[in-house]
Chain A
Amino acid sequence: MRSRWLMFAITFIAILYFYMRDSLVTTSVIGTAITFGLPLAMAAMVGIMCERTGIVNIGIEGTLLVSSFVGFFTASASGNLILGLISAVAMGAISGLLLSLLAVTWKMDQIIAGTIINILATGLTSFFYKQGHTIPSTFPEVDIPGLSSIPFFGPVLFMHGPLTYTGIILIFVLWVALYKTPWGLRSRAVGEHPSSADTAGVSVIKLRYLNVAIAGAFGGLAGAYLTLELVGSWDRGFSAGKGFTALALMIFGRWNPIGALGAAIFFGTAQAVTNQLMITQVVTIPQQFTNMLPYVLTILILAISAGKVRAPAAEGQPYEKEQA
């Protein structure tokens, strides 16, 4: 816990220092950090919501891929971004339901179930992919009146697209819901010790279905954000391992939405700083190495967290009501 605060303190001082030296560049770097970090944070929420109820979801990558695909091509075909968003969220929810079917109803090994989703997503999207499609525009930036004119915080926090705001707000909503509402208490109980929830009259199966589906919809939102707000195009392998990085961030953030958000922004900052260094040619590293950065960081994060964090106890175990 202390090391975490230390990390935040160092980050804060570093930002302050760079802001004093060059406010423009620092502001842009941190803004970019949020842009990079947010899809990862949202994807990490998928993991948190699933694992808190005891379902390991390594299919986040597949959810991102397939929902961004459906979102992009729906928007492209209809020319309507909102329709694209809705279809992406729906697709995410469907992928969640599929995971529930495999892992909750059929009690399949959850790692296999997640892998199935990943393979299915890669296969289907590659098969149906057609080159040359475009969308009319991406979701436009919405500057929050008043707030966006605050120095530093304005450009960093209040000059983003609508899905960015939605994502950030939903992360806080999830955090409050998880720790302050009956739903959250029950969900956590199901993930820690399902039979005690069952004996208290909470339906383990229903709650797992519900949460994994909502989580999938969340993943769909992340997919929509990536394609319809951030990038504006779609290509094979579009999600580029973000779903797996998100799992590492979830662990680093101790299955806590705010923790994972912090971890994601830290992650995004590292990437944004590297980008900045590359652009200004302060350092010249071959691009292959900078492209490795997210994956190297993921490994580092996991290595740091290993053994120090405690996962929900019932994670990965199908629930058997009858025990002889």
Chain B
Amino acid sequence: MSTLLELTNITKTYPGVVANENISLSVNKGEIVALLGENGAGKSTLVKAVFGLVRPDSGEIRIKGDLIAAGDTAAAINHGVGMVHQHFQLVPVMSVTENIILGDEPRRGIFIDKKKAREEVVALSQRYGLEVDPDAIVEDLPVGMQQRIEILKALRKDVDLLILDEPTAVLTPQEIEELLGVIKNLASTGVGVLFITHKLREVMAVADRVVVLRNGKTAGATTPQETNEEGLAQLMVGRNVVLQVDKSDAVKQGIVLSIRDLQANDDRKHTAVDGFSLDVHAGEIMGIAGVEGNGQRELVEAICGMRPRLMGSVLVDGQETPDMAPHKVHRMGISHIPEDREKHGLVASYSIEDNLVLNQFDQPPFANGWIRNATALEQNATNLVENFDIRTPSIKTTAGALSGGNKQKVVVARELSQNTKVVVAAQPTRGVDVGSIEFIHKQLVSARDNGAAVLLVSAELDEILSLSDRIAVMFGGKIVAILDGKDADRAKIGRMMAGLAS
């Protein structure tokens, strides 16, 4: 077998962080190599180095035996490397065809040959069996389709080595199956595939070899035949991990949160939440499953008073909450773990101490009238840092200096420490290390056990399945079905998430 890609001792440091340390790796022709690791393990940095988007400090990149200069994207492309990026590299306002031909346009004189470009796209999509509408505008397409365009874009240049950076993060289970099929197909035609993921299931399903990264170093290399999901998880985290969440049966009480015919628009003023009604009981976790972009974000924001409710109402204990008044909504007992912790959850330049009282800084005991109470603040922060296992040098450290997992723990600590009636948790473990995920899950379960109604919104179906007592599947801004958490079937939910009738 001929070697396509060979990395030797790649090292890349960012100020204060070693992203990659002496990593070596190879990919052969027709082989699928999975690069597995937690968020922050250095997977993306490594493949960006291969593609010339990141300049490694030291180490050697050889493609088909040729040494590639650091940071030389053009050379990587010329050597037949194609990359599908984690964050889509598509121009939203342009058409599918324009996006695919960008950088290497078919010409007629000095002009773009639009007819030829279109034909080329149609031919490409037929050749690989990836159907697309060449004239559609990218921003109007669902994410699964956008990814297809990304893949076609990469394949157009006759690639020998295809790099996929977390390609399944935003897809439905069906789309994931399809994608894995496409990957296998490509490999059978001789293309080498380097496939990055943190999802063990996918690795087991498709990889020929697995390389596991941990904290920027190679933690091990193995094959799916030699190991299992538990073994891979252990390599990834460096210790035994409980993949299942340990929880008792829910003790359901009365209805606390009641959403009635809620309607809200997205930022582009299109209907995103379309007549959404749901009751959540005290002492249960209600999971909202759905492919991202089906109105979950808008739903959460409308509930928490951060987005105008065009119609409908949100009631807590039978009392209507005000529209567009997040602070008042919070006072009525709705805690919010926001999807974007950097933007809505924390003030990066404030200390942890202050971040822990962001929504009650003006309430006793933290303030008497308009004077803040330093002792109470310190007391509160010290307690929470300990109880919520926030790893920080001091409570005076600014929140911005913490790692993703610890930032999230600050948010979780603040929101769950206030004995609220309702917890709205949006993507509570996104971009968080496995250890913190375990911890945050436990905290959500214990909030439930203390009698809170938990509304959990997550794009990770596994998270929904393992935590939820009941599952509402959301599609196109509406609830498609509500299922019992115990007998929820992965494949069935997947179909519903894709908008197919059960």
Contact = CB atoms under 8 A, between A and B. Distances in A.
Interface of A: 180-182, 185-186, 188-189, 192-193, 195-202, 310, 313, 321-322, 324
B429 interface: no
Contact of A182 (B51, B89, B112): B112
Given A199-B53, A199-B85, A322-B55, A181 B103 contact: no
Contact of B19 (A182, A199, A202, A324): A324
B111 A189 contact: no
Interface string B6-17: 000000001001
A192 B93 contact: yes
Contact of B102 (A181, A197, A310, A322): A197
B90 A201 contact: no
Contact of A200 (B14, B45, B102, B111): B102
Contacts of B55: 322
Contacts of B51: 199
Contacts of A196: 88-91, 99, 102
Given A188-B94, A192-B92, 15 more contacts: A185-B112, A189-B102, A193-B91, A193-B92, A196-B88, A196-B99, A197-B103, A199-B73, A201-B103, A201-B104, A310-B93, A313-B92, A321-B53, A321-B71, A322-B55
A214 to B, nearest CB: 15
Contacts of B87: 195
Nearest to A189: B91
Contact of B98 (A185, A195, A313, A321): A185
B54 interface: yes
6 contacts: A185-B101, A198-B53, A200-B102, A200-B103, A202-B102, A313-B92
B110 interface: yes
Chain A's interface: helix, strand, loop or mixed, by majority? helix
A322 B48 CA distance: 9
Residue among B51, B53, B55, B87 with the highest chain A CB neighbour number at 10 A: B53
A188 to B, nearest CB: 7
A188 B92 CA distance: 11
B247 to A, nearest CB: 36
Given A185-B98, A192-B91, A199-B53, A180 B14 contact: no
Given A189-B91, A196-B90, A181 B104 contact: no
A200 B112 contact: no
Contacts of B45: 324
A192 B48 CA distance: 22
A319 to B, nearest CB: 12
* A-B pairs, 6 with minimum CB distance: A200-B103, A196-B89, A182-B105, A199-B89, A193-B91, A201-B103
B205 interface: no
A186 B93 contact: no
Interface string B72-85: 01100100000101
Given A201-B73, A201-B77, A322-B55, A195 B103 contact: no
A186 B111 contact: no
B53 A322 contact: yes
Nearest to A193: B91
B73 A181 contact: no
A132 to B, nearest CB: 47
Contacts of A310: 93
B107 A182 contact: yes
A185 B114 CA distance: 12
Interface string B106-121: 0100111000000000
A185 B103 CA distance: 9
Contact of B110 (A181, A197, A198): A181
B104 A180 contact: no
